[in-house]
Structure 1
Amino acid sequence: MNRHYYISDNLDELEKLENELEASGISTEQIHVLSEQDADVEQHQLHDVPSLMKQDVVHSGQVASLIGLALAALVILLAWLNGWAESPAGWTPFVFLAVVLVGFCVWEGSLLGMQQPNSAFRRFADRLHEGKHLFFVDVKPGQEPILNQVIAHHPRLELAGTGEATPDWAVSVQRRWHQFRRMI
């Protein structure tokens, strides 16, 4: 999937655009609006960015997990090289320490990520501070022509680039979750 970013200062136009995309077969879960004016986005019934996605929790947690895995490997390696596992306790304390290190690093990295804006949206921070809105769509390669056709009817939108999209499986899970919630 590919993510297409657009900048606009008109929420009415974005609401119309979202409705046209949904009518053309692009699901609501593929469409998001990021703005510093959350109340206005909600008033226009646009699909806003979840608060967890606004922060860098996932990315920071992934980076920290790599650090934790490296530390865990170091603990296991040191225990093996120095023969510490030959003690009556065996490998248990070292494996436990390795698991604790990975968990701690992921936890700490995620906490640090909660204090940072999402790394995917940092390049748009100045435009958002100006009162603009970021509209982005995650599309499969087969949906690219649909997106281009609908976007062509909105010349006031400013193309702001492309990027890595939410994985297709995650969008499918979100879609099923929303369907399940509607049934309840």
Structure 2
Amino acid sequence: MAGDSPQETLFDRGDVEVVSERSADAGSTTCVFCKIIRNETSAAVVHETDDLISFLDHRPLFHGHTLLVPKIHVQLMSDLPTDRVLDFFTQAQRLERAIETGLEADGSMILINNVVSQSVPHLHLHVIPRRKKDGLRVWLGPRHPYTAQNPAEEYAERIRAALKEA
């Protein structure tokens, strides 16, 4: 697992520690989220702990659209050290409840993009307030059903094999 492998601390400036499990990430010093964490760029901060910060998305789908960001610079969810995963998702649960309650939303949408559609290459979780008939159409398509040429069990086996190696 990512959290079990050696990591290199790229820099430590106050309350942001930039970590890479791959190699020195030149973008880490220019990462907009790291700049928010270091107070070099402004944001409407919702909540902050020693390890996490949440702030309003500057291009929200709906008002209250909040991002949860670890203060260490990692790009992927799988790069987040295992000892920080519980805190990250516990805070995501708290944000979900607070956004729904505080904004009187009917529900919420929780998203994490890994590489594809990730506009900032720093792990972040979106909590987006939703209301019935809010007009947002989340299209998860086109769908690709399993067939005799692409059987479900073959894909399940490939994933099981990768899990054994993880």
Q: TM-score, normalised by structure 1?
A: 0.22
Higher helix proportion, which one? 1
Higher strand proportion, which one? 2
**Larger Cα-atom Rg:** 1
**Higher RCO structure (Cα 8 Å, ≥6 apart):** 1
